[in-house]
Amino acid sequence: MMTQKQVLDAVRRLPPDQRQQLGEQIIRQSTKSPSFTLVAIKRLPQKKQRRLDFLADKNTEGSLNVAERAELNRLVAEARQLALENAQALVRAQRPELFGVSGKPLKGRVREALRTKAQAEETVRISHNDGK
């Protein structure tokens, strides 16, 4: 049997994605409410966020040099990637059936869900227009 320290050391050695999944599983299993969902939202580290804000302000003023523009572009790309990962995490929490065990979207299920949603919206639109 492993000690608590050994378990924590093993968890710290996990890749970040697996560490996050493990944390989410533990929280899901420890909550009594089936409607409770915890989603970890990723953010830029504080230092990078401050730098991004500074460069964005300089960009607004039109005073970026070439190196700063390249750095701003890299930071914006990183922030967009985090936003995409956050959106995917929220969708995974809301609609887990659309994702495989690897965490990747199952294209067929996503297409079917989109088709079903579009049909439902069309039905609502038609019934709304019929009520006029």
pLDDT recorded at residue 78: 98
Q: What is the dihedral of CA 11, 89, 104, 13, to 10 degrees?
A: -10
Q: For residue 99, which phi and psi values (nearest 5 degrees)?
A: -125, 145
- Reply yes or no on whether the pLDDT at 132 is more than 70: no
pLDDT recorded at residue 131: 59
Confidence of residue 20 (pLDDT cuts 50, 70, 90): confident
Average pLDDT score over residue span 62-85: 97
User: Cβ(29)–Cβ(37) under 8 Å?
Assistant: no
Q: Which of 3-17, 23-37, 74-88 has the lowest mean pLDDT?
A: 23-37
Contacts by 123-130, CB closer than 8 A, 24 or more apart = none
